[in-house]
Structure 1
Amino acid sequence: MTKHSSISRRAFLKNAGVLGCSLAASPLVTPVSLAATPGDHRLVVIVLRGGMDGLDLVRPVGDPLFAGLRPGLSSDDPALPLNDFYALHPAADRLHGLWRTGELAFGQAVSTPYRDKRSHFDGQDILEAGVGQNGAIRDGWLNRLVQTMPESQLRTALAVGREDLLILSGDAATSSWSPDVTLTLSEATRVLMEKVHASDPLFSAALGEAVELTDVLHPELLLNADEIPDDPAKIMSDAMMMAKEHAGTKGIASFTADMLKQDTRIASFSIGGWDTHVGQARNFKRALLNLQDAIMTLKAELGPIWDTTTVMAMTEFGRTVRQNGSKGTDHGTGGTIVMAGGAIRGGTIYGDWPGLAEEDLYNRRDLMPTADIRLYAAAAMQGLFSATPSEIESTVFPGLDLSPGLPSIIA
């Protein structure tokens, strides 16, 4: 559990590229991390980068002040009813189907302990580290969760993309992989690479993990000597084709589902595009469709495993209650957590509604948080992986107060 065998995507591509491996990488890649743990439950954490406007996704149409605070923005669109008070963004029609079948829920008016400065970088670090605003940011809370599981394995803690996800970084054994990278090796070349780099533990371990995962996901890429194309252009073309298959949010979710059907039990990746200062109606819809694609792809490709899966989509902070002069919203505080999967207690909006009157807002501009978002994560790890209150308060979320109680989100 203390061994750390993580290698960054950039480092692996550099080493592999020197040896002439056939590699193809998309210029815009979503980071993904995965980890193997015992048991049948799966947890997928999606980090929504940019500050997702929870008031646009889950609209408090029953609050008499809502329409006046957002004229011409979210209040004017016909929305999908959730209950007598809330309605869902009209573009989330497939998610609305999950709501009707009890596979979708939301936590309203949530936030991390981060306040006031409203920096994306600081907010995301605090979200992924799972610490208070003045806490030491050294590792991620999902990694610390894995550390509490004595039977967890190295099998897959995969960072996919240009950067490692902080949320799964730490002392628990991890590895790295990029689903947009294809590795075409003959048996002879593979043996040669292993011998040449036998004295390089870092690269040797990365090569072993890459070959193993390629063998699991795309065995056709591990070729016999007489099967390798003679034309380098053909090799690169095949690699680019494989990269295209894994491009975009659907590809990332599909890759994640492939791993969840095997040894992986904990996964994390990110979806950007939520910083909607300008033209929110258009830009929010684009990001929302990506999130919807990710969740629906997971459901479709996991099959019966979806029944034991929990998906949690979390963002670093919410956005201002009032729209700005550019038909957008600015960085705020209270936001929304999205929860989906067959393992959740869906069809419910959790949390206390703080109200939209100016005196009820945080700093008279933001939705007032009424719950720490970490309580929802704690409820998931307790319900899915039997994490104890002591482990949650002392190891996973140091300093978190569990006395408000955990929401009953797991079925």
Structure 2
Amino acid sequence: MVLNRRNFLAQSVLRSGVLGCSLAASPLITPVSFAAAPWDHRLVVIILRGGMDGLDVVRPTGDPHFAALRPGLTAADVASGADLDLDGFYRLHPALAPLMPLWRSGDLGVVHAVSTPYRDKRSHFEGQDLLEAGTLNVGAAQDGWLNRMLQCVPGVEGETAFALGQMKVLEGAAPVANWHPKANMRISPQTEQLLVHVMEGDPLFEATLNEAISLSAEATDPFFDPEAKGMSGDMSPRLPQYGPLALAAYAAERLRGDTRIAAFSVNGWDTHARQRERLGRRLSDLAEVILTLQARLGAEVWGKTAVVAMTEFGRTARENGSKGTDHGTGGAMLLAGGAVRGGRVFGAWPGLEEGDLYDRRDLLPTADVRSAAAWILRGIAPLTRADLEAKVFPGLDMGEDPGLLS
């Protein structure tokens, strides 16, 4: 074999694993370029893995059947006024109290009683696959709906979109950059110098090697410190290297530049037992993620940003015997950002009387979560409705514009 730059890289990675991070997440494998996107709005997609209980997050206390379904989960909060009134019908989980200023300013909204087309099996694996693929059926596409969206827009290059971690929603033919907070090349200075020498002058690998070294340098510090990169905001300048806050901080850094789309996940929403404690912790994390994005994007970029937090399915209308809820169907999507028309709960409420429930156990979806996502894409990027319904979300009827963006 001739020892050229590409062969050297391939053999180094495959034989020794010297880069210390997965091939899928390595900037050495994913082409990364620096070019402005053909639109100015930003989009952050957060996948809430595990099936978030939308009925607990945004509580329909105005429904006369709600209290009887959830006596152990919500009765104490309702009685004490710990949860927060939104519009006289819905109340917000108390763990999201830090986001109430966003609600009042119109930067936080909810789309309730939504789901993907997934029904009945209630498998996390299949539900998440369908959520990220954006198709009608499980296994119908190997790529994700955000990547197909990028394929419909001319002028997209590597840094237009960032997948932070393994995100099927951004997998596909369109160029996408990948990063993971644990990415660490773990190579000696001598090896780094050798790599730089071997890649020097190569139009494909020289720039991406420099990017990989930069990302790895950020990850080797015990704390990821975006403030040291000249970023603004009133959040603590030192954030944990791992976890959702690191992802939010890194996404904000990129979105302040040429990046227009970032996607990452927040895990831990499967609340079969002890839901009051577990869901409260996860919602506190989510509130910190959203506030980190707001602070580190700055007022100007935040004003052009839509944050979409979505989950694979909701949970049962009734609490179970383990002080939790089981896998369900209809749920809620959370929206944040200055580009969002917030301060309201969108969606047609189906009711919680037993005959109104899906399969007499779940919140009945009255809208497809893909439709809400499609209207957001339509508002932030140069996309036609025909492309959204045929290519990005095959088989989708978007319906009427719900007015999710300001």
Within 5 A, what are the aligned runs for 1:171-190?
171-183=173-185, 189-190=191-192
How far apart are the structure 1 equivalents of 2:380 and 2:183? 32
Secondary structure of 2:63's match? coil
Note the C-alpha offset of 1:262: 1.1
Measure the CA separation in 2 of the matches of 1:149 and 1:213.
27
Residue aligning to 1:266: 261
Mapping of residues 325-340 of structure 1, within 5 Å: 325-340=321-336
- Match of 2:211? 212
Farther off after superposition, 180-189 or 146-155: 180-189
d(CA) in 2 for partners of 1:408 and 1:362?
Answer: 27
Paired with 1:341 and 1:366, the residues of 2 have a C-alpha distance of 30
Matched, 1:380 2:373: no
Task: Give the aligned partner of residue 152 of structure 1.
Answer: 156
- 1:133-170 Cα offsets, whole Å, 9 max, x none, are 25612100000001111011112544433xx2110000
| 2: CA distance, partners of 1:354 / 1:286 | 29
Q: Output the amino acid matched with 1:169.
A: E
Kept in 1: contact 2:107–2:336 (CA 8 A): yes
Q: Does 1:96 align with 2:76?
A: no
Instruction: Find the counterpart in structure 1 of residue 392 from structure 2.
Output: 396
* Deviation readout 1:208-233 (Å, 9 max, x if unpaired): 42522654x78xx49xxxxxxxxxxx
- Counterpart CA distance in 2 for 1:213 and 1:298 is 23
Q: Which moved more, 1:287-296 or 1:329-338?
A: 287-296
Partner SS for 1:106? strand
Matched, 1:367 2:358: no
Tell whether the 8 Å contact from 1:246 to 1:255 is kept in structure 2 after alignment: no
Question: Do the aligned partners of residues 268 and 160 (structure 1) sit closer, same or farther apart at CA in structure 2, a change above 3 Å counting?
Answer: closer
Match of 2:404 in 1: 409
Alpha-carbon displacement from aligned partner over 1:53-96 (angstroms, at most 9, x marks no partner): 00000000111111111112123312101011000001111111
Aligned 8 A contact 1:51 1:315 in 2: yes
Aligned to 1:6: none
Deviation at 1:188, TM superposition (A): 6.9
Aligned-partner Cα distance in 2 for 1:200–1:283: 50
Which of 10, 13, 16 aligns to 1:15? It is: 13
CA drift at 1:184: 7.7
* Post-superposition CA distance 1:35-67 (Å, at most 9, x none): 973221000000000000000000001111111
Q: Give the % identical residues.
A: 49
- In structure 1, stretches of 5+ residues that fail to align are 1-10, 26-33, 223-235
Give the 3 Å change call, closer, same or farther, for CA 277–210 of structure 1 in structure 2.
farther
**Take 1:381 and 1:285, find their aligned partners in 2: how far apart are those partners?**
30
Q: TM-score, normalised by structure 1?
A: 0.82
Question: What is the CA-CA distance between 1:373 and the residue it aligns to?
Answer: 0.4
Residues in 2 aligned to 1:143 and 1:354: alpha-carbon distance in whole angstroms:
33
Equivalent of residue 91 in structure 2, options 84, 87, 106: 87
Output the aligned Cα RMSD: 3.0
Aligned positions of 1:226-375 closer than 5 A: 239-242=221-224, 245-303=240-298, 304-375=300-371
Distance 1:377 1:191, change over 3 A: same
- After TM superposition, list the pairs within 5 Å mapping 1:101-116 onto structure 2: 101-116=105-120
Letter in 1 for 2:374: A
| Aligned counterparts, 1:52-67, within 5 A | 52-67=52-67
| Residues 46 and 266 in structure 2, CA contact (< 8 A), matched pair in contact too | yes
Q: Which residue is 2:133 aligned to? A: 129
Report the TM-score, using the length of structure 2 for normalisation. Answer: 0.83
The number of residues matched between the two structures is 368
| 1:142 aligned onto 2:137 | no
CA–CA distance in 2 between the matches of 1:337 and 1:240?
34
Structure 1 CA distance, aligned partners of 2:186 and 2:253? 20
Tell me which moved more, 166-175 or 319-328: 166-175
Provide the residue aligned with 1:5 in structure 2. none
Q: Where has structure 1 moved over 6 Å in runs of 4 or more?
A: 184-188, 197-201
Structure 2 CA distance for aligned equivalents of residues 38 and 186 of structure 1: 40
